[in-house]
Structure 1
């Protein structure tokens, strides 16, 4: 519980600091139209190679130099797209669904998911603030946070990350205080963990508590 409390305190502090020290410009209608088009194009670039990586793996060979180069190209592009998206967020803040539409809104999260840890940490509070205003999806924030935690060998807090390699059956990566997970998921508009577990064919029998 101490770990979770510390984590939440860090994010709350970061949100407060970002709100008080960063002033974002209010984009005009014309700027929003342009940003929408730009972000949708970025999304296309972000997803194109990822849609064919299985085919590339099959044709090039998983351990081949060609397949290694394939991912080098993807990683190089990821850095370029990350810079483009973070420049937009730095200037205008996290753009909500009502401003640029669902696809352009998703682009910001998608690119950050493939970006650096420092960018995830910096912009996660802005995404959460957008989620609480119902201008972004809670699942995106949860996946961003959980991925950071799992990649740091720490327990996730929303239960979005699944380990498919630990055995024959999929299972959740370790979860911090799993008896309170539905409380945390509810705070950002997510469905109960039981529903998600059933969808992924994972057994869930941990009794939930309210704080």
Structure 2
């Protein structure tokens, strides 16, 4: 009888811990859903507003002002989560929760992006974050550091034509292999969907093998 009576006391802390963890993750998941909606609140109407009123209009300026304020709030929430719990996996906060962590960091200042990039790399390696989303952050940080991007996710404005183009890519002829490996569509399709004319360059021809030197 004594052993039976002790069982509830042995398992009660474990049950409470599990319930506490479940409640915490549910709370964080719900919080991140709000953050994502807030992040998109000013970004989704931006292009339509610019087409209607112009990029230098008061309406667009108002969206940017609201975006800046909202981004600061969201960044505080997300960095607190990351600094406290690390990059929480999709198994705990769902795919959309992990996406929200990435979205907010991607929209932050370069120093913030660089700070949390290694954390996201580790999360992707452990299957707790999305590799295709990491590619965008990798490319942004590379360009900010004066390097070429790896996956071709980032655009830049051509000041001569005033049109957007794909930013410089390292080993560009093989970019689609890298994109396919992480679930991204071919770069030509990605560029076309963004209204950018792009043609993937052909790989340079292989150099013929040289025979032994016959000169004395």
TM-score, shorter chain, exceeding 0.5: yes
Aligned to 2:11: none
Aligned to 2:170: 176
Q: Alpha-carbon deviation of 1:142? A: 1.0
Structure 2 contact 173–200 (Cα < 8 Å) conserved: no
TM-score, normalised by the number of residues in structure 1 = 0.72
Q: Whose Rg is larger?
A: 2
Structure 1 residues 100 and 203, CA gap change in structure 2 (3 angstroms): same
The RMSD of aligned alpha carbons is: 2.9
Instruction: Look up the SS of the partner of 1:158 in the other structure.
Output: coil
Aligned to 2:147: 154
Structure 1 residues 69 and 152, CA gap change in structure 2 (3 angstroms): farther
Structure 2 contact 102–133 (Cα < 8 Å) conserved: yes
Structure 1 residues 147 and 37, CA gap change in structure 2 (3 angstroms): same
Instruction: Look up the SS of the partner of 1:174 in the other structure.
Output: coil
User: Which of 187, 203, 209 is equivalent to 1:207?
Assistant: 203
TM-score, normalised by the number of residues in structure 2 = 0.71
Larger RCO (CA under 8 A, 6+ residues apart): 1
CA distance in 1, matches of 2:182, 2:70: 31
Q: Does 1:197 align with 2:188?
A: yes
CA distance in 2, matches of 1:205, 1:128: 29
Q: Alpha-carbon deviation of 1:168? A: 9.4
Structure 1 residues 196 and 184, CA gap change in structure 2 (3 angstroms): closer
Of 141-150 and 39-48, the range deviating more from structure 2: 141-150
Structure 1's consecutive aligned runs of 4 or more residues displaced over 6 angstroms after TM superposition are none
Q: Alpha-carbon deviation of 1:100? A: 0.7
Structure 2 contact 132–184 (Cα < 8 Å) conserved: no
Q: Deviations over 1:146-194 (max 9, x none)?
A: 12233444311222123464759864311123356467557xx41477x
CA distance in 1, matches of 2:118, 2:179: 16
> Unmatched 5+ residue regions in structure 1?
1-25
Structure 1 residues 203 and 82, CA gap change in structure 2 (3 angstroms): same
